[in-house]
Amino acid sequence: MTVSAQKIPSQIEGFCRLCSEALAGMDSDEARIRYTRDMLPRLLLDKSLFTRLLQDALAGSGYPDIKRPTVFDNEVPLYVDRQGVFSLRMYLWGPGEFTPPHDHSSWGVIGSPSDGYEVINYRREDDGTREGHARIVPVGNFLLKAGETAHTYPFDEGIHKTGNPTEGTILSLNMYGRPAPRGFVYGFDEANHRAYKILPPRRKKEQLMREALRFLK
């Protein structure tokens, strides 16, 4: 990671060291998901850990680094495995805040230290051959209790929407595997049957610059 190891809480450092060793030797997403769903509650049920993370961030301790650029504005990176096997990220959710429906470029396991984190899963019904078009339908939703987890798969098999239907502010802890080299995730406009790319900040700027150059000629 780019932050000093001394600043990372021992719970996270030890957890991630175990996961790095175990996940590197697995050959399927199903095995990685099973392992992570078994392990992640060890962190989720430690509310003192999240209290420390939030207090340290507000105090400007440098970890977690809330100034680090991220794809989503409520995202806080906690750990990126040196071998690229996985990353661990915290997300903050105000009352009523949800993501748009979106896919992923890797497997993932998600959970919350608080009750009320909602997950809505979708099925894609078109074949994906028409650029910018997608037809998705919800196929189930559920509320996670504190310490419970859900999982997602890469690409069309992992389209979901997550967020906070409660009147309080909650957080989630999400662990993602090695991303595919696609470089973006798809967001979906369910009502208008539209798919669009969600790019990391630097790649978005580069793309817009290339497009702006065309119009300057």
Comparing C-alpha atoms, which of 177, 32, 6 is closest to residue 105? 177
Q: How confident is the model at residue 3 (pLDDT cuts 50, 70, 90)?
A: very low
- Show the domain range for 101: 5-216
Distance (Å, whole) CA 89 – CA 78:
5
- Work out the mean pLDDT of the chain and round it to a whole number: 94
The dihedral built from the CA positions of residue 70, 19, 37 and 103, taken in this order, carries a sign that is positive
Per-residue pLDDT reduced to its tens digit, 54-109? 999 999 999 999 998 898 999 999 999 999 999 999 999 999 999 999 999 999 99
Res 5: pLDDT? 47
What's the whole-model pTM score? 0.91
Q: Are 58 and 124 a contacting pair, CB within 8 Å?
A: no
Distance (Å, whole) CA 162 – CA 146:
15
Distance (Å, whole) CA 176 – CA 154:
10
Res 217: pLDDT? 76
The dihedral built from the CA positions of residue 66, 72, 75 and 78, taken in this order, carries a sign that is negative
Per-residue pLDDT reduced to its tens digit, 135-161? 999 999 999 999 999 999 999 999 999
Distance (Å, whole) CA 112 – CA 119:
11
Distance (Å, whole) CA 2 – CA 82:
10
Count of domains observed in the chain = 1
In sequence order, the β-bridge partners of residue 170 are 93
Radius of gyration, CA atoms only, the chain? 18
Q: Does the pLDDT of residue 4 top 60, yes or no? A: no
Q: How confident is the model at residue 1 (pLDDT cuts 50, 70, 90)?
A: very low
Res 2: pLDDT? 43
Comparing C-alpha atoms, which of 164, 171, 172 is closest to residue 95? 164
Largest CA distance in the chain: 57
Distance (Å, whole) CA 120 – CA 160:
5
Q: CATH no. for residue 163?
A: 2.60.120.10
Q: Are 123 and 139 a contacting pair, CB within 8 Å?
A: yes
Percent of the chain scoring above 90 in pLDDT: 90
